[in-house]
Structure 1
């Protein structure tokens, strides 16, 4: 114990002149990267009291119904009793997620202190981001482009971000739109990072009715913002022109710029296609900085085979990314779900890269927020009850459910490996003297070989 205390700096007083100036910094870096925050009792206890009161009334009601049968209609009475018990059980199960809701708080500064030390390469884990789309005429390419642009402009090391866009409809419109998006990203990404704007999806940034000059101190911001808005409007016109062109399919099918037929003219029978638009092969922005990797993926389809729709497309993205980047974490998004917080990936890393509990976390589910809803939300389109009550309640029990998008997965968990477990206790073997008791197995096996090594190894 004395040795441990001396190593931790607890035993004895140290000379202030001999102390390292980085000791407070190291102490801060060793702290947990996240913590649970309980909901205030003043908010939760009234609802718990209502649950208990309803449960009491429900028990009294069921007792009365069971002890007072209807002799003239026993089958109908029995059917109603079964249905009422079923609904009662369903209601009780529905209350479990709402009994102990919790919040979570992350510490981005500690994440930077631990994995981004000054003068050293960033040790943050790479992340592969998946975007899924099918029909560009039903899922507008401009919406998909905004999602991709918000990914490419995230606040994360560019060499550790890779965006894979899955075009499950093998549409040339999606391919050309993504090519235009890659070119516009060379201007949009440095603008976002230079002025630290939020959100980093241009359509929603320029349409916000807020004071965009707040907290902006660079004299050139107004001029550059005006120029960037003009560039984005020209980008929208080019995308709209591609959409207008795609309304009428030529009889001979689509032809690429080099004169070859588009491989996806038959959407049900075509080879797989992969195209890297940006990345480590020379994709730089207008200021000469490297951009994240951007990859177009359209999986192979053949008639007579089950392709499993979105799930099959995501499986193919996992396989392609495993060959190209093989990042340990993956974030999947629908084509109309942009990232509204540029530090979202860092927030998830506070859970997944936490040295204490990180290896036990399979995925981190982000809540969804919606634009274009009236101020009073008269049709409950924000799903507030689900994301802000039920999901937090599930998190207090064991963990939230996966809702299909906005989720960061650990690749190892999806590959089917067993989760890490604690050290196993040594096996007990019986000795020759007494069969009722055991003794610990020796560390060495036969002939002094380590345990687990065969004789002929």
Structure 2
């Protein structure tokens, strides 16, 4: 996607747009560039009153956008420029204007870049895929797991906000310039937090199967088994193709797979609840802005844990599956070798969940950067509660099925 940046000289000549906004807008468009690039022809045919209603009451600012190459109008004086700058950067400048609605950053979501890009594409703008040899912008996501989960929570919350707003790509922008493939892409960017619900179910079912002695699915035919294996192979092949296309190593790919599960059962789930509270009850949530500074160091803080409630759901799932594996193996040992065959399928799914949650397992058993005790306590309590909901303990029921509650100690 093409971006527009500026040098110090260009920044000084476009001072008014740089002062009023963060200058670089989504797709690299600043406030002055948005007006000049989108509205130059229309603005020349628009009355001054309409321009002020749309862009604010700054004649110098509006006049600068009508210039073909930008810059400052010749009639502007230094004293008036300072006065205009103070007016433009004031908090009330955007009141009763189209800033935040049709011009500049679009308000209403903490992920304003997605929302702004979506509206621009609805107006007919086209994106160009651009990868310069020298990166135009460089930054890195937080390596620390706790901070990274907070970052993902912010992204997911923004997607939930867009999903419940009038700008949801499911129903907004029909009849405009948005193409169908673009719409599908934007729909995917706002509905992905909802995948946390089935993901939590899938991570819980293996433990339930081991604790109850039942399997996730009934016995299937050979044809269904072939279809399942083919689907599994196609998913693996897709991952390999994406790795080769993106130049990603196997370690980075696996780390991304792990974090997809961890973020899905924690940050995405919390984002759903916070988004629903904001829409239904008007409860606003605060988020922590994470650092984007680039760091060429190794992953020294990858498994460092800090207290956050986001760590409780994945730790709970990890403990439940570990307990289920222990219970399943114990039952197989007590019941003989005949029970080992059905056990392998159940163990495979449970161990697959545990492997994806390995960073938490390392935090549980590691001597350094150990998981905070409060997270461990809450996770054990939740795991015990969920386990007892599925394992019904009745002291009056024997293994042979006699109900001791009826006949007491006189049962034969």
Q: Which has the higher contact order (CA 8 A, sep 6+)?
A: 1
State the TM-score, normalizing by the size of structure 2: 0.23
Greater share of helix residues, 1 or 2? Answer: 2
State the TM-score, normalizing by the size of structure 1: 0.22
